[in-house]
Amino acid sequence: MNRPQAILFDFINTLVRNLRYDPLAGNARLLDYAVDRKGISPEEVTTEAKRLDSEVAVAGNSIIEFTHHQFNRLLFDRLGIIFREPMEVLELEFWKECMLFSPEPGIADVLTALSAHNLRMGVVSNHPGSGTLLSWELQRHELLNYFEFVISSADYGIRKPHPVIFTSAASRLGMAPSEIWYVGDTLETDMVGAKQCHMSAIWYNRRQQEPADIPVDAEVESWEEFLELAQTYL
């Protein structure tokens, strides 16, 4: 591997970990913004959302992202419910009630250390939520200021490992992919995509998964171990 001029990170299970997922609470919050709830309960919305998800679910290996905005528009149009706020507001309000995250242990220390070396950093995530939404979550944990940008697959409609999402990030940095490290927890999307673009692929394997037949440039099981690796190149 070369000395990195920039480092890109995945979001969930890399920078933050998910502690709670409560769609019932999220849907209850959305109904607070309805012009007319039509007598529909949060439980009924949640049941319909599960039914719709099973009908339109995108295969796990698809490169097409079905976004929160698209899903909610389809769901609530089907229920005949309209809102007095735009989808961007509804997405955030649902997120606040439904999701709870905490930073990965040690990540703040790592980002501080990398910043001291003037390394440029960004986030590239597969997520149905917008980059604006992910930025809000990072700001909540005082992590956002470390990053020049936050790219979500929802912003492009394309998911990792498609190379376009990686090369777009490299273009935003104004760098060749070979000058960039990519760190993520998923072999099939993060590592495959990074290697296709000739980025250095660092597998953040905190769950100590068994390695598959997918090449990586380095494997770490904690952010402390990653920092030791990075410091040998900086």
DSSP code per residue over 150-195:
EEEHHHHTB-TTSHHHHHHHHHHHTS-GGGEEEEES-IIIIIHHHH
Q: What is the reported pLDDT for 21?
A: 97
Q: Does the residue 195 lie in any domain?
A: yes
Provide the H-helix boundaries in the chain. Answer: 23-31, 42-56, 68-79, 87-98, 107-116, 131-140, 153-156, 163-173, 192-196, 223-231
Together in a domain, 85 and 170: no
Q: What is the reported pLDDT for 211?
A: 80
Q: What is the reported pLDDT for 135?
A: 99
Together in a domain, 73 and 15: no
Length of the chain measured in residues: 234
Phi, psi of 156 (to 5 degrees): -105, -20
Low-confidence ranges of the chain (pLDDT < 70): 58-61
Q: Does the residue 161 lie in any domain?
A: yes
How many domains does the structure of the chain reveal? 2
Q: What is the reported pLDDT for 210?
A: 85
Give dist(CA 10, CA 194) in Å, integer: 11
Structure tokens at 64: 């097409």
Together in a domain, 87 and 182: no
Classified as helix, coil or strand, 203 is strand
Can you give the CATH number for the domain in which 147 is found? Answer: 3.40.50.1000
Q: What is the reported pLDDT for 111?
A: 98
Report whether 90 contacts 33 (CB < 8 A).
yes
Single out the residue in 99, 121, 149 at which a domain terminates. 99
Single out the residue in 69, 99, 129 at which a domain terminates. 99
Q: Please state the pTM of the whole predicted model.
A: 0.94
Q: What is the reported pLDDT for 58?
A: 62
pLDDT tens per residue across span 115-135: 999 999 999 999 999 999 999
Give dist(CA 29, CA 31) in Å, integer: 5
Q: Does the residue 1 lie in any domain?
A: no
> Based on the number of CB atoms within 10 Å of its own CB, is 61 exposed (0-12), middle (13-18) or buried (19 or more)?
exposed
Q: Does the residue 60 lie in any domain?
A: yes
Q: What is the reported pLDDT for 136?
A: 98
Classified as helix, coil or strand, 141 is coil
Q: Which domain holds residue 80?
A: 21-99
Supply the mean pLDDT for the chain.
Answer: 95
Together in a domain, 130 and 57: no
Give dist(CA 67, CA 72) in Å, integer: 9
